[in-house]
Structure 1
Amino acid sequence: MARTIGSHGPKTMEAIRKAGLRLIFEHGYAAMSLRQLAAEVGIQSGSLYNHISTKQELLFVLVRDHINELLRQLDRALQGKQQPADKLRAFVAFHVSYHMTRKREVFIANSELRSLEPKNYEEIVALRGAYERRLAEILTEGVAEGEFEVVDIQVATFAILSLLTGLTAWYRPGGRLTKEAIVAAHEKLVLSGVAPGAKPDQARSSRAPFADIAARDGSES
């Protein structure tokens, strides 16, 4: 018989969320069952319905809360930033730092988007769009003020987000580079990519500082 930790209250719901996150990440949404989830939490299967009505609801809540938290923390990171370059640097630093510590949430939000029912899918896509617009607005402002040179704002937005989010596929804590060095490398990539009139010799000369960072910080990405 499952070890019962109580079928009511916020502690149990938090346990359900954590267990659901891990099980979906490890096995996939389709393969995870509510019976498996209940056993992981330590409650009877029927007790799950005191907190979630369906497996679909759990997935939706996990993804929705992840993106809402992403938006909340991003807005806080951008507070007080006036110049487009400062805003873009803050965006990159936040996005990279956040995604270093939320691998499961990021993976599920991306890979299981297809598993959401139409109404839930539309709501999540709208939230993702709000996050993308934060970056697009920074780029648009930078172009208007002559700080950035961007051929297409939408293409640049998607390309930058893909670059920054891609670290979840290879980043491992305790590696060769420190977190600070990884953030600095991404800042350099993004800011140099939108800088107006960047010359090839300037790009070549920018490699040396990061060789120094890699040697000095000694961590593996």
Structure 2
Amino acid sequence: MGRLGELEPVPRKSTVEIVYDELRSAILYGSLAPGDQLGEAELAARLGISRGPLREAMQRLVQEGLLHSEPHRGLFVITLDENDVEDVYMARLAIERAACVLLMQRNRGEAVVQLNEALQQLVEAARERDPVKMSDADQAFHEALVRASGSPRLERMAQTLLVETRMCLNALQSTYPEPEELVEEHRRLVDAIADGEEERLLRLIEEHMVDSIARLCG
């Protein structure tokens, strides 16, 4: 932002970015389910757009790994098995561990403020015992954690993994931890950052990912 009161251009999204966000959200929430085929004509009609922006948006999702192409058949939403679940969480561990190391070198106070805001959303969702809101708040917390590292590359890599995580949870929602347990896991992460205890933070983030693998694959 410029000087106080100075007007600046408002960022605008291109049609491709809007379509990309729509498709990504549909995959995230399961309205485009694992294994679903994406028909260009149908989707273009539903979204009220031409096929050009749609194809470009779908190719972005192919590059991210959320869609895959089958020769002579078209594009499909990826499916995840137990091996994929473990791979997703171990990749998240690598990224979030690196993010934790970086954020501990930065303004921890700012990170704690942002994470406490995200934690409060999780507390409210847990109070309602709403699985979708809990998943949203859980994801928002980890997005805030990686964002606090100040690394746009880590943040970019985490985005796709968090969508894949959500796909795992959508398929295995019965394995989600109890609301109070979920809140406490995340509260301990914030406390470790606030206390400046990097070793404890790294141990907790590893336990969080390993426990999730055991819960989903057990």
TM-score with structure 2 setting the length:
0.31
Larger Rg: 1
The answer to which structure, 1 or 2, has the higher relative contact order (CA under 8 A, 6+ apart) is 2
- Structure with more strand by fraction: 2
TM-score with structure 1 setting the length:
0.31
